[in-house]
Amino acid sequence: MAYLTGANGKVESASGKLVINVKSWTLDIGRNFEDTTALGDSWDETSPTTGRCSGSIEVDYDPTDTDGQLAIQTVIISGANIADLKLFCSGAVGWHGPAKFTGSIKVAAKAMQTATLSFVGNGEWKYE
């Protein structure tokens, strides 16, 4: 069995621009389901409908990362879309798709400033 670490993981915001100081990322991806249970059924039944995803990127906050963190911060403020957010598991393999963002920044006296960049998919996502 192969074991993978996240050491070679990375995040690209747009046009291959690397987001720096990434500590971790998460992606929840799946399908929505419609209840198709009929009268007389003894168990619930569902049918898959649309796809969906959401996730977050944890970073040590760096406002000088103009192509990565600042680019995402700009779309948070404008409500725009990142056309092709890329989340790499290891090397050149990973998930990608369009995303809309929200975010929060944490400032503490005895710690690095951190940011949580949360997103929802805004179209089709693929694993390649």
Please determine, for residue 20, whether its predicted confidence score (pLDDT) is greater than 80: yes
34 within a domain of the structure (yes/no): yes
Please tell me the predicted confidence (pLDDT) of residue 87.
96
Query: Distance (Å, rounded) from C-alpha 34 to C-alpha 36?
Result: 6
Query: Distance (Å, rounded) from C-alpha 61 to C-alpha 36?
Result: 46
Query: Distance (Å, rounded) from C-alpha 18 to C-alpha 113?
Result: 19
Please determine, for residue 2, whether its predicted confidence score (pLDDT) is greater than 80: no
Please tell me the predicted confidence (pLDDT) of residue 90.
79
* Tally of domains in the chain: 1
Please tell me the predicted confidence (pLDDT) of residue 39.
97
Please tell me the predicted confidence (pLDDT) of residue 99.
96
Which band of pLDDT confidence, cut at 50, 70 and 90, is reported for residue 1? low
- Residue ranges making up the domain that contains 98: 6-127
Query: Distance (Å, rounded) from C-alpha 73 to C-alpha 70?
Result: 5
Structure-token pair, residue 57: 């990127």
pLDDT tens sequence across 87-110: 998 777 899 999 999 999 898 999
How distant, in Å, are the alpha carbons of 21, 91, 115 from that of 8? 13, 6, 21
103 within a domain of the structure (yes/no): yes
Which band of pLDDT confidence, cut at 50, 70 and 90, is reported for residue 15? confident
**SS3 at position 93:** strand
Taking alpha carbons only, the member of 79, 23, 80 closest to residue 56 is 23
62 within a domain of the structure (yes/no): yes
Tokens 């168990």 locate to 43
1 within a domain of the structure (yes/no): no
- What's the CATH number where 34 sits? 2.30.110.20
pLDDT tens sequence across 27-77: 999 999 999 999 999 999 999 999 999 999 999 999 899 889 988 989 999
Query: Distance (Å, rounded) from C-alpha 15 to C-alpha 73?
Result: 16
